[in-house]
Structures are given as structure tokens and as C-alpha cells.
Chains A and B, each alone.
Chain A
């Protein structure tokens, strides 16, 4: 499969606006979606199906900041190794957060859970801004600072998922 940016006809950049990604995606699906092949030959249906799948896959990657950053690094030949360790400072920070969270959870203190989630959300936004700056500063490189920023975003997203699951559980008990 070609890289997700060129599949969508977009520049390989971190700084893509959601609306321009959506636009490119919809313009392609207007041509490639299986509904467009309803009256076509089986041959064309198969081809169209494959392309529609590819565009959906590319869209999923490019539309999400973390996946987009990872794809960009891979494209530049600096994929973040799965063995790469998070910085000790980040690990420490997340561990403290996790402790605070489990205490709040045990105490049924939903206010604190919400406050932590709010904090992590704004940090997530900051991490994206930072990534955008790093990518702009080093257009060719995949220096360790970029990789570390990607790993930080990865941790924040995962933590946010857990937080939101807790918020949801709490909300589902009327």
C-alpha cells in the first residue's frame, strides 16, 4: 500500500486541518465507494472495493494525530521502534497520575476523575502543538525529540481512553 497521505492526495504533513482531510476523503469516496459500482462489472466492483478499503484505511490514519505522526515518521524512514522506551520523567508522571486516579476511583470521587481527564485533554492538545512545531523545525529528520513526543502522545491517549471509560461507567449507574 502506498503511504496514506498520497492515497488521499494530501501533502505529507502533520499540519492538516480536519476539514481538509474530510474533504479529500469524501471526494475520493464519491468515486470509489461500492455504491458507485452497483451497476458495474464484477471486475470493476472488485477493483473499486480494494481502492475504497485503502482510502478508508488511509483516512483512519491521517485523521488521528497520533497515527498521522507515526505514519509521517515511517514515511521519512524514522519509524518509532516498538522497543523504544518512554523517558523516565514521562513514566514517573504517568505513574503518579495513575495512583491519584485509582485513589479517586476507590473513593468514588468522580469530581477528581473529571479534573484529571480535563488536565490530560489539555496536555494532549499541547503535545499535538509541540509535535507540529518539531515537525516544522526538522522537516527531514526523525530525531529522538520527535520520537519522544510521539511516545508521550501515545501514553496520553491510552490514559485518556481509560479515564473516559471510567467516566462512562460512572454515568451508566443512574
Chain B
């Protein structure tokens, strides 16, 4: 890459892939040759520490500079905030070892108190990190398009929703929330063109995912996924840090002063890193006027962290069981996440599967690389248009039924997108309201699962108990996000309510944060709405043009002229400044193409059912050629 880059202002925006990690985050894109490129700063560093420091005068500092400030300002510097995403103020995570001050002990959202009385939520902190990553990408690419953002596969709905909202706050259009292990597999599968059954073992800073998937000629089908969204490298640090605090004279680790906790966590991290390559580390703890010489052996470290390693093994077995597959069926294990560098973790994986895991792509970079590939595919660019990721719902979704028991509506590992409905009835005479409590998790009792939403279906006509038919419908999209709708079907006057589960921050709260973030408030928001609608209009017009080019023969002349007229109307509206008019014209075009869309769909399905058409065989060949083109010669396989 040349040092001097001249941006073409007319260049089309480039889609990006973002790995929003617990410890580090990074951004990547697909280069001109179809290869994933990680964005690096002027020092060649790709990893941005996921650390945000809140200084005075509403100044925020992100990344390595923030990390440097953590020791001096432990409470105003938020580290590993991902562990709090989508969590309530009373979540157990808020009671683990850490230096923070929380604004309240109850409530649906974690709120940190930082400098000068500012209170911030994990969504806002994550938005700062995302904004920084977007700016880095813009420095390199000029214009940046939509983003694929990765999330742990085991993230529940609240955590996913929170991630999406953080992107919205950062002004990033989310093309897709992609599961981290699937992203890693995408990077591996394309780089090596291996078919077969793979297990991705992803131990990050704060989350652990294990995903079993089949690769088959460009299709990545997830069979089962599992893990622990509260287990990661951080927990290894904490295990060491508790011992270090004892050496510094703090018998009760959690009540140690914040600066001592932050110091111990940092020291623990360096000890962990040193023990990856050495059997023994000697270090001097120097804090609070004390100086303690300490020796830690790898055997000691392994003993302290053995329960954590054991938890990873349990999750692996469970995933194998869910996929009705044995360890011997797995053809390759892919290691992802910095914590998979820990020797005892690697040893445990190798012994469970009876083979050495693969780690030839840097485990810190592989997820962002996969995300950029998926962004490229979704943007309809590049040579990989036949690559497809088929993912699953990580945790069962259900409703609290009588007695607090969970009635499962969509079981875990259901292929997404998915929909399912369940009919309930009333248990009291003339009951006119019905409370619905949506939960996610595998436990029998609703109280032990994560609560996603509570709402009441009102206006049920008075009827004897057991007569109304209340249908609750769950729809999960390809991002793994849930929408719930409910209706009463006996009376024929089916009343629908649609609920987007929230984790405490509703749309209004996010809107307010957006307003606060803009200097000129409302005016900026209006300008932004207009530009968003123009982009959407361009997209719809391009899509319609493409559809017409492919399948114009499906239309009668009068149908064709109706569509042409609607397109002309939308083009005219785009020339104006009224965003509502653009919205209306998009809807008109949508209506004009309804029949056409249906016929195109039927044609596509018929083709898929009757085997490959000649055209798709040609694309396959082109894809294969495209893959070879971006591989270094040493990696090309001719088998």
C-alpha cells in the first residue's frame, strides 16, 4: 500500500467489518484484490483497546491513550464495558472485581458514574469506541458505508439490541450483526477452501463461544452454538489479581481501593501474558507505597484458573451433544480470541478433540477479517457472491406460563430467520388483559432466565375463562433479533401489538442521546433523515433496475409502465428536500412492484428446486477464480 493515498471524493462508500471486542476492537475492509485488510494506525497497530476515558469538559479519550489513563483515573476510565452490555444494574457482573462506581444498584440498565458527575451507559461507552473505529476507517478509505458488527454467538437478545443501538448512536448503519465464530470461520474457510465439519473455539476478553459448523462449497451452516457470555480472559486476570491484592495487604479483594484494583488487574494481565511463553515469572508489585517481589509459576497459574478452563470444556460437550456429533467427527478446531494463547486452554482443547487446533490466522484479527468479508458480500460487491452464512438462535426464547414455568416457543439452535407462534388462553372469567413475559434462556423457571420484555395485551372482549385464543408470535431475523406480536383471534377483531424487547433503553431514550450528541440538535436530525432517505431511495431504484434487467419478461406492458412511472416519481422526489415525500414515493414504488416481486421469487425457487442453472455454474467458476486471485501463491491448493 502506498503511503500517500488520494481519496476520490466521488468514490462509492466502502463497507466495513468491525470486531467490537471486550478487550480490543478493530476494523477491517476488503481491498481491491478481494483480500481482507485490517486498518492500522501510523504505528502499525491494528488493535484499539476497548477503553474509554471521560476527562473534564465532556472530552472523551478512546483506545491506547485511554488505557494509559486507567491507572491514574480508575473510575473515569471504563475498561471491558462489553461485559455490561444489555445488563441490568443488579447484574452479578456489577459485583465482580472492578474499580467502578455505579449510579444506582437497581434499574434495568447499568449506569457508570464518571468524572464531573457524568453518568454513562454501556451503550454510550461502546458508541464512543465504534465512532473511533469509524473515523480510523474513514481516514484510510475516505467514505465508509454500512458495517457488519460482530457479537459473541452466545449474546442474548438484550445484548444484541444494545450493540445495535450503540452503532446507531455512533452514526453507523448496521448491515448485519454477525456472530464472532461464524465470522472467524468465514475468514478461515475462504483462505483455505476446506470443506467439512469445524468447531470454532472463541475465548475472548469477556465472552466464550463455541460453534460447530459445516462448510460446504461456500455455504457455512452452523449446527449448534453455545458458550458463556460471562467467561473470558478477564476472568483469568481477576483470578490472578485477587492473589496479588492479598500480597498488597488487601485481604478482601472486592473492597480494595479502586486504584489498587486497577493496578492489580493490569499486573495480572502482564503476568498472564508472560506465562504464555515462560514457565516462571518474577515481578515486583509496586503500589500504595509498598513493594513486593513475587514469583508465579505456570503450574500455579494453571491451578488458579483450572475452574475456568473446565467451564470451556463443559460448553464444548454441550454443543457436540446439541449437534448430535462426537468429538471425533470434528475435522478441525479453529482458535479465536487472545485468551486461546493460554497454554492450558490449548492443551484442554487438544485433549478433548484428540487433535491440535488450527491457529494460523492471528486470533486477534480473524473476526474482523471475517466481518469485512461478510460486509463485502452484503454490499453486493466482490467475487464472493455465492458465499452464504446460515446461523442459529443461541438461546431458547419463550414465555412465562402459569406457575412461573417457561413455555418454549423457539428452541436454541433453531436456524434463523425463524418464526413460531403459540396460542394461550385466559384463566379468569371476563379477563380483559393478558400479561406476556418474554424470556430467553435454558432454565425451567422464568425467574432463572433473562427477562426480555413484559407487556399486557389489553382489550380482550369479556368471555368465559379458556375461550379467548391469544396468539403470541415470535419472529427472529438474521441478526438474531426478536420481535413479538400478539393478537386475539376468537372475535375476528384481531388486535395486534408489536413489541420490540428492550433492555432498559427504549427508542425514545436512544433518540434523546442522539439529539444530545449533535451540536445543533433537531436541525441535524432533520438533515440526517433526508440524507438517509435519499440513500434508501437510491438503493431501491438500483434494486428495481436490477430486477427489471433480470426478469422484465415476467411483466405485462401495462405493469411495466406502472413501475416505470413509480420510479420516475421517486426520482423527482429525491430532487426535493422533503424526506416524507421520498418515503411516500418509496412506498408507491413498493406497491407497484408487489406482483413482480412475487413472480421473481417463484422463479428463483423453481430454479433452486430444479438444480443449478447454467448461469449459477458460471458464477461458481468465476468465484473460484476470484478466490485464487487473492491468495498468496504459497497458500494455493491445487487438490
Residues of chain A at the chain B interface (Cβ within 8 Å): 9, 22, 24, 26-36, 38-44, 47-49, 51-53, 56-57, 59-60, 164, 168, 171-172, 174
CB atoms of B539 and A39 under 8 A apart: yes
User: Are A29 and B542 in contact, with the CB atoms below 8 A?
Assistant: no
Contacts of B418 in A (CB 8 A): 53, 56-57
Q: Which of B602-619 contact A (CB under 8 A)?
A: 604-605, 607-609, 611-612
- Asked whether B414 lies within 8 Å of A31 as measured between CB atoms, the reply is no
Q: How far is the CB of A89 from chain B (nearest CB, A)?
A: 28
Q: Which residues of B contact A39 (CB under 8 A)?
A: 379-380, 539, 542-543, 546
Known: A31-B605, A57-B418. A43 touches B546 (CB 8 A): no
Cα(A172)–Cα(B309), bound, Å: 11
Contacts of A38 in B (CB 8 A): 175, 378-380
Known: A35-B378, A35-B388, A35-B478. A42 touches B609 (CB 8 A): no
29 A-B pairs, CB-CB below 8 angstroms? A22-B221, A26-B221, A27-B611, A28-B608, A30-B219, A30-B386, A31-B604, A31-B608, A33-B390, A34-B417, A34-B477, A35-B377, A36-B388, A40-B547, A41-B544, A41-B589, A41-B590, A43-B590, A44-B543, A44-B547, A44-B601, A47-B597, A51-B601, A52-B417, A53-B475, A164-B321, A172-B314, A174-B306, A174-B310
Given contacts A34-B478, A56-B415, contact A26 B310 (CB under 8 A): no
**Chain B contact patch, size range:** 35 or more
- By a CB distance below 8 angstroms, the chain B residues around A171 are 314, 317
Closest residue on chain A to residue B392 by CB atoms: A56
Residues of B within 8 A of A41 (CB): 540, 543-544, 547, 589-590, 593, 597
With CB as the reference atom, state the residue of chain B lying closest to A29.
B390
Q: Is the CB of B597 within 8 A of A168?
A: no
Contact A47–B598 (Cβ < 8 Å): yes
Taking CB atoms, residues of chain B closer than 8 Å to A24 are 609
Closest 7 CB pairs of A and B: A9-B609, A34-B478, A56-B415, A174-B310, A38-B378, A172-B314, A31-B608
Contact with A along B5-38 (1 / 0, CB 8 A): 0000000000000000000000000000000000
Distance of A171 Cα from B314 Cα, bound (Å) = 7
On whether A56 and B597 interact (CB within 8 A), knowing A26-B221, A30-B386, A35-B389, the answer reads no
Q: Which residues of B contact A (CB under 8 A)?
A: 175-176, 214, 216, 219, 221, 306-307, 310, 314, 317-318, 321, 377-380, 386, 388-390, 414-419, 475, 477-478, 539-540, 542-544, 546-547, 586, 589-590, 593-594, 597-598, 600-601, 604-605, 607-609, 611-612
How distant is B369 from chain A, measured CB to nearest CB, in Å? 18
Known A38-B378, A41-B589, A43-B590; contact A168-B390, beta-carbon cutoff 8 A: no
Using Cβ atoms and an 8 Å threshold, which residues of chain B touch A53?
A: 417-419, 475
Give the complex CA separation of A35 and B380 in angstroms.
Answer: 10
Residues of A contacting B609 with CB < 8 Å?
A: 9, 24, 27-28
B605 touches A28 (CB 8 A): yes
Which residues of A are found within 8 Å of B540, using beta-carbon distances?
41-42
The residues of A that contact B221 with a CB separation of less than 8 Å are: 22, 26
Partner of A44, one of B307, B386, B475, B597: B597
Contact status A168-B317, CB under 8 Å: yes
Contact B216 A26 (CB under 8 A): yes
Task: Give the shortest distance, in Å, between B119 (CB) and chain A (any CB).
Answer: 37
Given contacts A42-B590, A168-B314, contact A27 B601 (CB under 8 A): no
A47 partner, pick from B380, B539, B601, beta carbons under 8 A = B601
> Given A31-B605, A33-B388, A35-B176, A44 and B314 touching (CB < 8 A)?
no
- Cβ-defined contact, A51 with B478, below 8 A: no
Further 7 A-B residue pairs, CB within 8 A, beyond A47-B601, A60-B415: A29-B388, A29-B390, A40-B543, A44-B543, A44-B601, A53-B418, A168-B317
Min distance, Cβ B310 to any Cβ of chain A, angstroms: 4
Q: Knowing A35-B377, A171-B314, A174-B307 touch, does A27 contact B543 (C-beta < 8 A)?
A: no
Interface-central residue, B214, B390, B418, by most chain A CB under 10 Å: B390
A98 CB to closest chain B CB (Å) equals 19
In the complex, A174→B562 CA distance in Å? 69
| Contact between chains at A30 and B544 (CB < 8 Å) | no
Contacts of A44 in B (CB 8 A): 543, 547, 593, 597, 600-601
